[in-house]
Amino acid sequence: MATATRVKHTKFIFVTGGVVSSLGKGLCAASMGALREARGLNIGLQKLDPYLNVDPGTMNPTQHGEVFVTDDGAETDLDLGHYERFVSHRMTRHSNYTSGQIYESVIRKERRGEYLGQTVQVIPHVTNEIRASILAASEGLDLLIVEIGGTVGDIKSLPFLEAIRQLRLQLDARDTVFVHLTLLPFIKTAGEIKTKPTQHSVMKMREIGIQPDILVCRTEEPISRATRDKLAMFTNVRADSVMSLPDQDTIYKVPLVLHGEGLDDKICELLNIWSREPKLDEWKRIVHTLENPRQRVSIGVVGKYVDLAESYKSLHEALIHGGIANNAAVEIVYVDAEQVQAGGADVQLGRLGGVLVPGGFGERGSEGKIAAIRFARERKIPFFGICLGMQMAVCEYARSFADLPGAHSSEFDPNLDGAVIALMAEQQSVTEKGGTMRLGAYDCELAPGSLVARIYGKSRISERHRHRFEFNNRYRERLERAGLRLSGVSPDGSLVEMIELAPETHPFFVGCQFHPEFKSRPTAPHPLFTAYIAASLQYQRTRT
């Protein structure tokens, strides 16, 4: 291989999925991005989702998983979180398009007369819009990896597949690669891996004019040479382009596994890219730390979407990153806030090294979260509150120390007297849901000498937000007098962004209005999670 990267213009990798959903297309795309970036390429990633929602902002987290927020305020698919954790490229609103956005754009153009009276159809108008969104996201990049949501055979995905078929014809012959992620089920009674579902999936792709260049096969165990040869024969994919991706005990092994399969070399060959050998020492270090931790800690996440861990995906990973920074394994225990509310705080939380209350919406479970916060404060268990978690911490403190026994949020009762958390003034006239919140990156000034200023090591930070309700300034002075430190505020001083208790009062009690988990990476753990895990480890040591 050459020592320098040579790419004259943007090249594309299109990632599709077959047989079943939830195979890990996002992780596969992110891992390919990590491998390409390790070779010195300037890469980007994009997710095209076939659902008709304009964005996932109003979708139930238990149905769709978390909503990932970008710096520019876009509410996007959780796969963009995987992308940002695996590569240095920061996602934007152009990194995620849905059918809803595409159709909305086409209809607006039709209403403005931009189609000059033509009959507006899926082909060419919708597919042209999809192609334009892909090309716009590729500007200035060596390589763009595009993940197509859904599963081949879904009617909703057809316009996106047709658009990338057209792009292959539009671009130079060696500018595109199609990677198809598929499942090889193991039938225990027969004692063998079955290739037929993958054969049918590729057949479906070929029916619409797309021949995959590479197959990435999800399996329970590595596949044999005979299985690779069989797949090559029946899918028209070369045997050396059939890759095995067995189940892993950590997602951060995936780039190393795909590298071991030769995926990145094969992509270089197909795209005619000359690049250096990948530098993977950092990924090896991360995996070694995860497999050989020096210590362990249990963290309780008290929420209401605990039936689906994907609802807190970025949070889950940020806690793991905090463990990596401390050479520790983090056991994450998801605790139903309603069970805590029913009186189970001691049973649910008593054995844990730390308590974390994450973001969320709606009244259900709010009293359980307040009970969990009170338990952590009184027992001096390290506590971390994020977004709604910070808001509930303010409510708990106001009830306990500021003579406000009914303190709560006006999100749950608009007529509440004693709403220490209230709607932003500019939001009070908004009636439509979706895209109406404080979204994206905002600056925050940290109080000199505060715990959080020491943790960040600087006085001004930028973090991503996703919320409507704020600390009510009417109670600001009263809560400060009661001992609550407002340790982070907006640059103009009008909005409270962070709270904490003094170290002599509590070893670690921090709340933030923003979502720090969105900016954490395994190669660069977020300082708040690093400090929180360190405090939890210390608490666990002193308790034992």
Catalytic residue list: 387, 515, 517
* Strand duo 143-148 + 75-76: pairing: unpaired
Helices in 261-326 by DSSP H: which ranges?
Answer: 263-271, 281-291, 313-325
Closest by alpha carbon to 148, among 50, 57, 69, 36?
50
Residue 423, exposed/middle/buried by CB under 10 A (0-12, 13-18, 19+)? middle
Distance, first Cα to last Cα, the chain: 54
Type of residue found at 69: V
Closest by alpha carbon to 9, among 176, 122, 123?
176
- Backbone phi, psi, residue 16, to 5°: -120, 165
Calculate the alpha carbon distances from 530 to 267, 323, 327, 334, 403 in Å. Answer: 36, 7, 10, 20, 34
What is the three-state SS of 477-508?
HHHHHCCCEEEEECCCCCCEEEEECCCCCCCC
50 Cβ neighbours under 8 A, 6+ residues apart: 98, 99, 148, 149, 150, 154, 156, 157, 159, 160
Determine the Cα–Cα distance for residues 526 and 517; give it in Å rounded to an integer. Answer: 7
Kind and range of the H or E run holding 357:
strand 354-357
Place of tokens 């406000």: 404
Query: How wide is the angle at C-alpha 124 spanned by C-alphas 123 and 130, nearest 5°?
Result: 95
Are 508 and 384 a contacting pair, CB within 8 Å?
yes
